[in-house]
Amino acid sequence: MNLQELAEEFAENVAAQTDAIWSGNASKGNRHAKRYIAAFKKLREHGEAGMDALATLFTHTRMDVRVKAAIYLLSERPSAARPVLEEAAKSEGMIPFTAAQALKYWNEGTWSLDVD
């Protein structure tokens, strides 16, 4: 699987997790979360090139995908990830709330992404 395919795997599973959560199927959502975390880990193994592939999702059509990619890149690329989160946080709902919380922790200096 090439880097762009891994980024798409990340995006597809973020979207599927969101859809599962909205339909009330937490176990299905958890399966998709494991898959996008695995895709992220594979992208991370490729260093900057992998992070570049993930950053392409900042313009994805779905807000949940844009926000999740920005959250996963916040520590690596704050100047690129923060505007994505800031834009999403202007709206209302679960995804904007998630974006706002990530920004809050980032601004407090307590942000940490633990996917190991």
In a domain, 113, yes or no: no
Query: Which secondary structure element, helix H or strand E, spans residue 116, and what is its range?
Result: none
CATH number of the domain at 84, please: 1.25.40.70
Domain that holds residue 12: 3-108
Model confidence pLDDT, tens digit, residues 15-55: 999 999 999 999 999 999 999 999 999 999 999 999 999 99
In a domain, 7, yes or no: yes
Strand, coil or helix: what is 82? Answer: helix
List b or e across 68-96, with b for residues whose CB sees 16 or more CB atoms inside 10 angstroms: bbbbbbbeebeeebbebbebbbeeeeebb
Q: Which tokens is 102 given?
A: 């990530």
pLDDT at 13: 98
In a domain, 25, yes or no: yes
Give the chain's domain count: 1
In a domain, 52, yes or no: yes
Q: Which tokens is 11 given?
A: 């995006």
In a domain, 9, yes or no: yes
Closest CA to 115 of 76, 72, 84, 82: 72
Q: Is the pLDDT assigned to residue 116 strictly greater than 80?
A: no
In a domain, 116, yes or no: no
Model confidence pLDDT, tens digit, residues 48-98: 999 999 999 999 999 999 999 999 999 999 999 999 999 999 999 999 999
pLDDT at 114: 78
